[in-house]
Chains A and B, each alone.
Chain A
Amino acid sequence: MTRRTNLWSVARALLLWVAALTVTLPLLWVALASFKSPAQLNDPGLVLFAPNLDNWARVLEAGVLDAAGRSAMVATITVAISVVAGSMGAYAISAYKTGGSATRFGILAAQVLPPAVLVFPFLTMAYALRLDTTYIPVIFAHLSFVLPVITWFLIGFFDAVPRSLEEQARVDGFSRFAAFRMVVLPQVLPGIGAAAIFGFTLSWNDMFYGLILAPTQETILPVAIAAFNTFRGVELGAMSAAIIIAVVPVVIASFFIQRRLVQGISGGAVKF
């Protein structure tokens, strides 16, 4: 019994180490590349060298930080709307099968359709409503795929919550909405956190809608990063620096979100 347990924990540690290395080594390569000169970039084995800050200067000058700010704003608004609307909708679908499969599957439609096809309808809408100088069209386009994903994401979590919990709350005098808000919602908090993180990445990473629908001159982050892929070659050093700028703050934020959530559940919500 103990030998098997030990074996399992060794295998588990090994697996996590391999996973961590697989994730970090390419990122480390990117981080190194951001400090390399164009000639040094041609040498993949080069690890020790005098760091060069030109790429970072170039990236800051190109306004990548502003672009990151715009992307963060768009993603935050998109996710906030999606989490509120999505958790309510997912609950209605999970608990009462409201709307039937038409709703359930219908909202996934935009998830399947290519952005190349949907973007022009969005653009027409933006022009017709004179919204083309605002971020509203981008946020709407992002909602078209973030909201369905978050809703579906949460249906599974609500499905896993025993109905008895809610019935008990109703017996205790909670209104329907209060039972949802105070009793059911805390149960799916890890799911909501994970859904929010994922929804954020979808919006944060989208290049195509942002390119076409964002106001002129106000580049969002993925477009700013893609701009280093020029006709005269990929500016690998600068692009690497931009990638680091895109990743580090989000990883830090997800670290705190996850810690909050894990504490959230272990701190009292579990009452089975």
Chain B
Amino acid sequence: MSTRRRGLLASMGLAAALALTISGCAGSGGVDAPDSSGLGDIPADTEGTVRILMESVPDTDIVVDLVASFNETYPGIEVEIETLAFDQMRDKLIASFQSSEPAYDLIVVDNPWMDDFVDAGFLEPLDARIDSTTDYQPEDFFQPLVDITEVEGVRYGVPFYNYALGYLYRTDLYDEAGMAVPNTLDELVANVQQLTTSDRAGIAMQPQRGYKIFEEWANWLFAAGGSIYDETGNPTLDTPEAAAALDAYIEAFTTAAPANSSNWAFDEAFRSVSSGQSASMISYNWNLPGLNDPDGASGELAGSFALAPMPGGKQVLGSWSWAIPANSAASDAAWAFAAWITSPAVDVERVVAGGAAIRESTLSNPTVLESGFGEDYYAAIIAILSDAAPLSQGLGGEEMIQAVGTELSEAVAGTKTVEEALADAQAAVERIQR
């Protein structure tokens, strides 16, 4: 027996030794910057291949459709777009950074990752490129979107599309009940309770643990006059406003949300609203065209939906940004594409095709107003994007969001009181910031 055990130990030791000799590889990935001018205007005769990793969403499909038009200006640049679902894309992206060989030349970055990626040195700073690109008009981007791309005063990305939230509701049901869009959190709770009938919920909510519940509840927090961080960046989740917001959230969930929906996420809520089983939801602004599309999930209900900012005017902002990996093999060509797709003229085409807004001028462009999805919609988006804040700031964004989302879920499930959950959330964020 003892010889066997010794054999096991010996083989494990061998494996460990093997690992140690190769351990130099860990973390050796990263910066290996190939030729890069670092400048803005890229000559039209530039040659190269730009490999892009993107998330499989309609906004990406719109970008894919615009590639042919890009090649009219830059015939020598080949654009290869790989699309994956959100989490897969993220895992693959992280993995690609571990290689010293460039895997992608241009990427899209979600806002919670921005600080971590910059801190790790994964991204190329873009200030010089942005400022030296002719007619780019970077000041035209919605400021909250630009803020997300900025880490310690340096811009590492340009906006790709926003996913700010808003209140989506059925106008016919609001008219029928003789109600107006809520202006306070109390009105929101009262309205959705009044809209609740035996076969229809007043509001489809998204209390799934983690990202979803935090993303939804933070809108309630803002509506209650609270905030996620104070001016100096410290978390403010154990405030009376936060408690009021969570109480209201739980009250609405127990009295006006669909039965047995404690694990619902975006998908369930959207289907519930589009099939007429819920009267409203808090979700991404760009859901409105989808809800009002007669060929979409709403069927006969299409046309009866509208979008409003949250009560109090402030909402949660999410944003994707174009960024160039530090190990990009074709950073000039990558910038050529990123600058082209976000340029004022192309942005109009993108938004008309259904892309989510990034530029203020685009939303007042006559072509967009005429052939887009209606002036009211764009007015609501301008209002939403003028006062919106992301869920996380600084390093560890993803972990912070998950930690708060877990505590909120405990409160909704009843395993913690509102006070306990918020105190624990506050403590968790403080710990992650340390």
Chain A residues engaging chain B, CB cutoff 8 angstroms: 38-39, 41-43, 100-102, 106, 119-121, 123-125, 127-128, 132, 207-208, 211-212, 216-217, 219, 223, 226-234
Contact = CB atoms under 8 A, between A and B. Distances in A.
Nearest to B19: A121
Interface string B285-297: 0000010000011
Given A43-B275, A123-B98, A101 B57 contact: no
29 contacts: A38-B297, A41-B297, A102-B4, A102-B5, A102-B7, A106-B8, A106-B11, A120-B95, A121-B19, A123-B98, A124-B25, A127-B101, A132-B99, A211-B84, A212-B92, A217-B80, A219-B84, A223-B84, A223-B88, A226-B85, A227-B85, A229-B85, A230-B55, A230-B86, A231-B55, A231-B85, A231-B266, A233-B267, A234-B267
A231 B103 contact: no
A232 B58 contact: yes
B101 A211 contact: no
B270 A233 contact: yes
A39 B51 contact: no
A126 to B, nearest CB: 9
Interface in B254-286: 266-267, 270-271, 274-275
Contact of B85 (A101, A124, A208, A228): A228
B393 interface: no
Q: Name the 3 nearest CB pairs between A and B, nearest first.
A: A42-B275, A39-B299, A102-B8
B98 A127 contact: yes
Contacts of B85: 226-231
A100 B298 CA distance: 64
B239 interface: no
Interface string B83-110: 1111010011001001111010000000
A217 B99 contact: no
A211 B299 contact: no
Contacts of A219: 84
Given A42-B274, A211-B88, A216 B82 contact: yes
Given A38-B297, A212-B91, A231-B57, A101 B98 contact: no
Contacts of B88: 207, 211, 223, 226-227
A100 B51 contact: no
Nearest to A121: B19
A230 B55 CA distance: 8
B320 to A, nearest CB: 10
Interface residues on B, range: 35 or more
Given A42-B274, A231-B55, A233-B267, A212 B299 contact: no
A212 B92 CA distance: 6
A102 B92 contact: no
Contacts of B183: none
A120 B19 CA distance: 13
A41 B57 CA distance: 20
B22 interface: yes
B301 to A, nearest CB: 9
A39 B82 CA distance: 29
A233 B266 contact: yes
Contacts of A208: 91
A231 B83 CA distance: 12
A226 B266 CA distance: 17
Contacts of B29: 127
Contacts of A100: 4, 7
B120 interface: no
B56 interface: yes
Nearest to B269: A233
A230 B57 contact: yes
A25 to B, nearest CB: 21
A229 B265 CA distance: 12
Contacts of A124: 22, 25-26, 98
Interface in B221-279: 266-267, 270-271, 274-275
Nearest to B83: A227
A253 to B, nearest CB: 27
Nearest to A120: B98
B84 A227 contact: yes
B4 A128 contact: no
B91 A127 contact: no
A68 to B, nearest CB: 17
A228 B267 CA distance: 12
B11 A216 contact: no
A123 B297 contact: no
A96 B83 CA distance: 51
Contacts of B58: 232
Contacts of A223: 84, 88
Given A39-B299, A42-B271, A216-B51, A230 B7 contact: no
A12 B7 CA distance: 50
Contacts of B100: 127
A173 B266 CA distance: 70
Interface in B36-82: 51, 55-58, 80, 82
A123 B95 contact: yes
A124 B101 CA distance: 12
Contacts of B270: 233
B34 to A, nearest CB: 17
A231 to B, nearest CB: 5
B42 to A, nearest CB: 24
B57 A128 contact: no
Contacts of B11: 102, 106
Contacts of A132: 99, 101
Contacts of B26: 124
Nearest to A130: B101
B297 A232 contact: no
